[in-house]
Structure 1
Amino acid sequence: MRLLFISQLFDPEYSIKGLAYLKELQAQGMQIDVITTFPNYPTGKIFPGYKVRPWAVEQHGGVRIIRVWSFISHSKSKLARALSYASFMISSSIAALSVARPTIIYAYHPQLTTGIVASLVKLFKKVPFITDVQDLWPDALAATGLQKEGFIYRVLGKVCNKVYSNADHIVVLSDGYKKALVERGVSEEKITVIFNWHASEGLDVHQHSTERQARGGEFCYAGNIGAAQSLSAVIDAFSRFSEASVSLRLIGEGVEKEKLESYAVEIGAKNVFFSGYIQAAKVGIELARADVLVVHLRDDPLFKITIPSKTQAYLNSGKPILMAVGGEANQIILNAEAGVCASPENADEIAHAIQELISLREQWPVMGLAGKSFYQEKMSRAIGVKKTLSILNRLQARTQ
């Protein structure tokens, strides 16, 4: 079987379904080609050792990676992002039509533009494809400010539905996503739920240092700091505690970071600290320094059926979790007995959850290990690879 994997996001960027995932598929006898661009996320600056070219080819343990040109900018504007997506869609289409005919295409990130590319290749080369829905477009865009009544929203909705129709199979990251697509008319038999896993799941960071017990708890949020994360309520909640009892460290970059830094100063949140972007390979080290890990998203119906990717990373870290997303994500933490939950954008509930966690400090190692066990049993990469192989084998059998 020859698999063509298309993703604008790929190693050495933080990519859940990246090189390690593909090497496990390759170990099952597959030939794998990857079409991606030059690594620049999330800073918009090319990673050291890379130079933007029209076309470059790498070999990593037998996985061939084809890097194509795309518009790259450190600007956070919507126009710059749209140009990035559109340019990669064009370049990757040319590349996908140029390489040897694959048996199956896996369209990964972002699912709309890679889904369009896969649809095009299917039209000309009669190749089945899988589309992987990591964000439920256009709903995800509406959750960050796009008007649902607007022309762009309607067009994107129609294009997404066409991609879902063209796809031979759809992978989604949550049961809620599957239900939403079924309500849009997609056949239930065409959809498989494969939970995301932690891209660096081999790293063990669950140990709790006894020398930290004498001081306040250190809570940590690591990830994008944008409109969807809506972290002002989290900062508000932490500002109600003294630095001696608890602190919050926010690791990452995003369009809301400067605004939130000013807000923290304005409300006197002296126990809230901001760190900049940290390379994906070093995130695990930072998580190991923390006592409790924080997840938060804006209070939006879409996010009730979303499982933020950091959920798996946090569960696998073996640390207790403060989850304030609602819906399916909160339920996972409750089922795993891996932490305490609160409603999103509710500073009072978040503050109550912080206080509850402080009072349960002796149980933190127990919560962390329970979360890690839950992850290994239900969300590990091995489980995801097994489900992916099942889909690929079924599609291959249909084409023979």
Structure 2
Amino acid sequence: MAGYKNRWRQVEDMDGIRVVRVKTYMSANKGFLKRMIDFMSFMVVGAFFGMFERKPDVVVATSPQFFCALGGMAVALLRRKPFVLEVRDLWPDSIVALGAMRRNALIRSFECMERFLYRRADSIVAVTQGVQRGIIDKGIDPGKVHLVINGVELSLYGASSSDREMASNYDLKGKFVVGYLGTHGLAYALNEVLDAAKLLEARSDIAFFFAGSGINREAIEMRAKSMRLTNVRMVPRQPKEMMPALWDMCSVALIPLKANDFFSLTLPAKMFEAMGSGVPLLFSGPRGEATEIIEETGAGICMPPEDPQALADAICRLADDPLQVKEMRDAARVAAPAYSRQVQAMRMEDVLRAVSA
């Protein structure tokens, strides 16, 4: 697998964009202390080399996690330029909601850091309405909190990219494929998906396809093997250029969030990739922004979270009703352009121009 040389700074061109990469302490997605060192090393090294780049008009940094944002803020302050903070998740609220940590002194220190960054940012970009509301509820001026949601690159996902040979390789040809493509993380009720797969073993026309990586990937894969599920296929994380073909193999896209009210704020990126590919959405999770989009557009169906029997029943109904699946597929394609990266990029450009004026 191609990688990068062990240098402190490397420059490359990506689609006409100059990208500078810096060396950091690398750690696996395990172990709190090592991950903190990883995050802080990027904050320091990134900020250091950022001081020697051509003077920018605006400095944009993203969160989570805050250490990246602090590095960006430092560059903005030292170079006397506006600072825009993009917030993709309400961190550290999400850490507590996921059960990764209890609310303790460290979490409270992160909350102080969070409020500091929100106050110091010249403008804030939230990727969901829920995140936007959450920031405003923390006492931040609504006028500087803007919404630019996750979107889909329609030039990649908009056209059919059917790959029959790929479907044959995974023994999926002719089957109703329930696809989960994305992070195998703490937010997703993947064990319940395996339980639903167990309930559907007798349906030889239905198969489950998992692709991705994440902190729970190994555990999910081991459990699937221990359950001896013959209707489940699992592959590692795939290159971005492979994703359109993988989505095109799927009959429905599964988005199984856990039963936690915090996830009512969530808009998974895979949701828009599926819509751009014309794949109906099968959403199980708390009611919120995602369910509103799905129900308003008709691009899929929604159900309560962590209910294997209800999930299995819904999959059976869809597998037995190709007309409904086609209607949802058409609705997903019609709705997708509103969430295109081109539309969202124009909104982001408006934010950047306003803050640098």
TM-score by length of 1: 0.81
Amino acid across the alignment from 1:366? E
Aligned to 2:210: 250
CA distance in 1, matches of 2:173, 2:47: 57
Amino acid across the alignment from 1:252? G
Contact 2:154/2:276 (8 A) holds in 1: no
Aligned with 1:239: secondary structure?
A: helix
Note the C-alpha offset of 1:259. 2.0
Aligned to 1:319: 279
Note the C-alpha offset of 1:132. 0.8
Q: How does 1:185-204 map onto structure 2 within 5 Å?
A: 185-199=139-153, 201-204=155-158
Contact 1:111/1:132 (8 A) holds in 2: no
Distance 1:381 1:104, change over 3 A: same
**1:103 and 2:69 are equivalent in the alignment:** no
**1:331 and 2:292 are equivalent in the alignment:** yes
**1:224 and 2:183 are equivalent in the alignment:** yes
- Deviation by residue 1:113-141 (Cα, 9 ceiling, x = unmatched): 22211221233222111111111100121
Aligned to 2:266: 306
Note the C-alpha offset of 1:174. 1.1
Which structure 2 segments of 5+ residues have no match? none
Count matched residues. Answer: 350
Amino acid across the alignment from 1:101? K
**1:364 and 2:318 are equivalent in the alignment:** no
Contact 1:130/1:169 (8 A) holds in 2: yes
Aligned to 2:344: 384
CA distance in 2, matches of 1:208, 1:354: 22
- Deviation by residue 1:53-109 (Cα, 9 ceiling, x = unmatched): 111122345522111111123463333322221111111110122223211111135
CA distance in 2, matches of 1:353, 1:375: 23
TM-score by length of 2: 0.90
Amino acid across the alignment from 1:319? V
Contact 2:61/2:72 (8 A) holds in 1: yes
CA distance in 2, matches of 1:360, 1:314: 19
Contact 1:323/1:340 (8 A) holds in 2: yes
Amino acid across the alignment from 1:283? M
Provide the identity percentage.
26
Contact 1:217/1:245 (8 A) holds in 2: yes
Contact 1:230/1:298 (8 A) holds in 2: yes
Amino acid across the alignment from 2:177? E
Note the C-alpha offset of 1:251. 0.8
Amino acid across the alignment from 2:299? A
CA distance in 2, matches of 1:100, 1:215: 55
CA distance in 2, matches of 1:299, 1:222: 20
Aligned with 2:246: secondary structure?
A: helix
CA distance in 2, matches of 1:104, 1:76: 34
Aligned to 1:51: 5
Task: Give the alignment's Cα RMSD to 1 decimal.
Answer: 2.4
Note the C-alpha offset of 1:307. 0.3
CA distance in 1, matches of 2:269, 2:151: 8
Contact 1:216/1:246 (8 A) holds in 2: yes
